[in-house]
Structure 1
């Protein structure tokens, strides 16, 4: 049953893991923590996490479990839908102490998952892996466990996608980082429309090349294009234009009101300062 699980991780979880690794103690070689999220129908969705202070010795591992439970209870007050679903660790491998830590999380949830994030960037990539622990042994004999890899992928909410796109713009061509300010709403609409136009041109060029027998057809791509076409609402050109214009007007109204409120607040702040100095 556990081998049929698949894990979907949100970008904010990866950011939190990297942040915890950057803030670790000087004598800590790896960082561990608790994964929070939901599990339904064989899909484990990781939406949050937090770090658990711990120390690893040659023959034992010490973790502040009381701290972990306190943080979990505080998180439950904010988001009651997030439950403990496993644990994470930095590094590219499962260590000797992993089974001991996994045993604790087995008492906190059913079929916990173990996620590793390679913050050492071996091979030039931040490897992301997920495991489940499968019991081994003979009846009546000594029992053991084996960490078995399972499918893991990234998923994002729409606001997270906007944040990721903004993060990508902070990387300069020379490899250094730079500061980038969020764009205005209309600028985002314009940029999205330009990207969509470019993608549509690429799709049309691919279809024309296939029809002209310049490119070998791919059945998987054809099915995805058919699914894309069927998902588009069957609207007349005039109806689509009216609906799009109405949405743009609503957006402009929201932007105008936001600017008016911002200006009003600035005026009130200046008037308050002038009144206080008199």
Structure 2
């Protein structure tokens, strides 16, 4: 078992877990489910999940495993790249029943990951923790297991970033808590404004370090060096010409697309008129 495992969770997984917790039965104190994603070279990326109905008693756990396998097979038809990588549960701790549930998922995948999501919002935060099960015991003796914490990080695709930014705006939207998506150009303008503000902060930080008004951070320096090396080394005039040429090509494609759309609409109307 590799204890240097890293678990990366996508935002949609957290939304699905919270939604399942809000829709739970009145007598259910905890909700569990299956984690789907990929595992490669010590990195487990969780991209999807679903809830598994279950009941916990004092001495046993009842879970609808047939339902879980049916949902997994249906999901495989839609996205064959997503495999079972572990399971999740609401709460901020590992219970006595967790080892029983983990044993089942150990038969479904190799080295399953266990995620706990604290939906009680203790400390005004939704705690997210990850565990793997490590075998304990003496050779040829009684064997046991221990849940050991692993690093958990949030990651997201570019479209998910846009959705998260839109969700964040609902916090300051008043009582309605509704925000309309912006047009593409408006999103580009907003992103450009944020990028310009961040660049101003970086420039100010560099000036403060050079003038010895602020202490230098080696980690920040290495990241800035990596950022500078990733930018093509070209003159400002050359970059402006390349950018203008790219914009012209994009506008030409948009114009041609609009002309084709208009032509198709005219052909459709002419076809209807001639058929009448």
- Relative to the length of structure 1, the TM-score reads 0.89
What is the distance in 2 between the residues matched to 1:200 and 1:149?
37
What is the distance in 2 between the residues matched to 1:33 and 1:8?
17
Relative to structure 1, the CA distance from residue 145 to residue 264 in structure 2 (aligned partners, 3 Å threshold; closer, same or farther) is: farther
1:218-272 CA-to-partner distances (Å, cap 9, x unmatched) read 111111111111111123323322333344445556666787899999999xxxx
Q: Which residue of 2 aligns with 1:238?
A: 237
1:66-92 CA-to-partner distances (Å, cap 9, x unmatched) read 000011111111111111000001110
What is the distance in 2 between the residues matched to 1:213 and 1:199?
21
1:155-175 CA-to-partner distances (Å, cap 9, x unmatched) read 11111111111111111177x
Relative to structure 1, the CA distance from residue 25 to residue 263 in structure 2 (aligned partners, 3 Å threshold; closer, same or farther) is: farther
1:36-59 CA-to-partner distances (Å, cap 9, x unmatched) read 011100000101111111111111
Q: Which residue of 1 aligns with 2:5?
A: 5
Relative to structure 1, the CA distance from residue 216 to residue 237 in structure 2 (aligned partners, 3 Å threshold; closer, same or farther) is: same
8 A Cα contact 1:2 1:111, kept in partner: no
8 A Cα contact 1:90 1:118, kept in partner: yes
What is the distance in 2 between the residues matched to 1:266 and 1:121?
53
1:127-146 CA-to-partner distances (Å, cap 9, x unmatched) read 00000001111222221111
Structure 1, unpaired ranges of 5+? 269-278
What is the distance in 2 between the residues matched to 1:18 and 1:68?
18
Structure 2, unpaired ranges of 5+? 268-276
What is the distance in 1 between the residues matched to 2:16 and 2:206?
42
What is the distance in 2 between the residues matched to 1:95 and 1:266?
62
Relative to structure 1, the CA distance from residue 59 to residue 223 in structure 2 (aligned partners, 3 Å threshold; closer, same or farther) is: same
The residue correspondences of 1:163-182 to structure 2 (distance < 5 A) are 163-172=163-172, 178-182=177-181
Q: Which residue of 2 aligns with 1:275?
A: none
Q: Which residue of 1 aligns with 2:273?
A: none
Q: Which residue of 2 aligns with 1:151?
A: 151
Q: Which residue of 1 aligns with 2:43?
A: 43
Q: Which residue of 1 aligns with 2:56?
A: 56
8 A Cα contact 2:173 2:179, kept in partner: no
Q: Which residue of 1 aligns with 2:195?
A: 196
Relative to structure 1, the CA distance from residue 22 to residue 213 in structure 2 (aligned partners, 3 Å threshold; closer, same or farther) is: same
8 A Cα contact 1:38 1:46, kept in partner: yes
8 A Cα contact 1:33 1:87, kept in partner: yes
8 A Cα contact 2:136 2:143, kept in partner: yes
Aligned residue pair count: 274
8 A Cα contact 2:87 2:105, kept in partner: yes
Relative to structure 1, the CA distance from residue 141 to residue 119 in structure 2 (aligned partners, 3 Å threshold; closer, same or farther) is: same
2:172 is paired with a residue whose SS is: coil
CA RMSD of aligned residues (A): 2.6
Q: Does 1:108 align with 2:108?
A: yes
